[in-house]
Amino acid sequence: MSRSARASAFSILENDGIPSRLRRGCDALFTLAIFAWLAEGVFRTVPTLGRDVLGTFGWLELSIAVLFASEWALRVWIAPEQYHEGAMTATNARRLYLFSPLGLLDAAIPIVYFFGDRTLGLGGAMIEIVELLAVFKLTRYFPGLDLVFSVLRTEIRPLGAALAAMLTLLLLASSVMYYLERDAQPDMFASIPASMWWGIVTIATVGYGDMAPVTPFGRLATGVVMLIGIALFALPAGILANGFAVELKRRDFLVTWRLVAKLPIFADLDAAVIASIARLLQPRAMPKDSVVIRKGEPAHGMYFVLSGELEVHVPNRTVRLGQGSYFGEMALLSDQPRSATVVANVDCELLELGSAEFKRVCAEYPLLKERVEAEAARRAAASAKP
């Protein structure tokens, strides 16, 4: 099949940032299927329901397993679309998906469902556990879930340092308590490892009360450990909050990068060049019938069309601009007021490049400037025609 069919399938299955009804429908279908699959797996463990009652939903389980198997095959096919053209061969892109954690899970669930029992000889518990792992498939549809894993991965070092500090406190506190309490409560604080239970419960400020100090010094030490425990527990929370903020910013940028890479004017540029331009662009949502540019007004930037359609009112006619095109460059190049009025025909998503940023891009990438100048000259000539 052609590359454009693959690109369309990609934009339906994967979020490429361009809003689409088909993708929303597809996301809803998969989310529902995963929830139904998980509900079946969870309720199967309720003895009063058991396999007999749920057996009546066998057709649903089978349909979802077929859906998951087809999804896996589709994702293998569209994997090359994930990367900028030329950045990676199709085989490597597919290998990357096949051996990614989600790729392995996408394959494992239908394999275990269809072949786990007889062909692979897996036990019932093993099959059920693999099937319940479908919860991780939700990370595709609930970005928050995936975010948690990314943040844990990127913040592993500071989190490790916080954990090391907690372990040090645990060892010190438990050892001190062992020496302070062992004579008064030899059964409870029988050893340092036994005292560590008290340490964990106290540092975590849970306080079950099953092990409590009775000596004055033991109580004093407990008070100190509680206060330090609160401070140490706040540390990972702070690290995670910062990690979330950084990760969200990075993702926003990645979405913009993908969108910019898709615009024809930038499509053949280096990934690094696209990245530096993407940093300069601001998303703008324009509702239907709004005036984006008014003839005669001073220019503050130019626009790239991510989705929607706009009309340029030039003398005696209107010119339509669709997804992938740009406008507002003429006034920036000539330092003149706007040459025409541009109105959104439908709800539009645009990326704006401010005038200062436009000048920077022109100075740094003369090839782009030439392209924009050539197009502006063509447009000016077309507008001048009677």
Residue nearest to ligand CMP (CB): 331
User: In the complex with ligand CMP, which residue's Cβ is closer, 223 or 322?
Assistant: 322
User: In the complex with ligand CMP, which residue's Cβ is closer, 314 or 350?
Assistant: 314
* Least CB distance to ligand CMP at residue 364 (A): 21
SS3 116: coil
User: In the complex with ligand CMP, which residue's Cβ is closer, 178 or 327?
Assistant: 327
User: In the complex with ligand CMP, which residue's Cβ is closer, 262 or 338?
Assistant: 338
Q: Show the tokens assigned to 188.
A: 């409870």
Strands 281-286 and 348-354: antiparallel
User: In the complex with ligand CMP, which residue's Cβ is closer, 1 or 381?
Assistant: 381
Which residues of this chain interact with ligand CMP, rule CB under 6 A?
293, 299, 312, 314, 319, 327-331, 338-340, 342, 379, 382-383
313 burial via Cβ count (<10 Å: 0-12, 13-18, 19+): middle
194 burial via Cβ count (<10 Å: 0-12, 13-18, 19+): middle
226 burial via Cβ count (<10 Å: 0-12, 13-18, 19+): middle
* Least CB distance to ligand CMP at residue 94 (A): 40
* Least CB distance to ligand CMP at residue 147 (A): 38
Positive or negative, the CA dihedral 238, 240, 241, 242 is: positive
* Least CB distance to ligand CMP at residue 331 (A): 3
Dump strand ranges (E) for the chain. 281-286, 291-293, 301-307, 310-314, 317-321, 326-327, 341-344, 348-354
Q: Show the tokens assigned to 35.
A: 């929830």
* Least CB distance to ligand CMP at residue 357 (A): 15
* Least CB distance to ligand CMP at residue 384 (A): 9
User: In the complex with ligand CMP, which residue's Cβ is closer, 195 or 325?
Assistant: 325
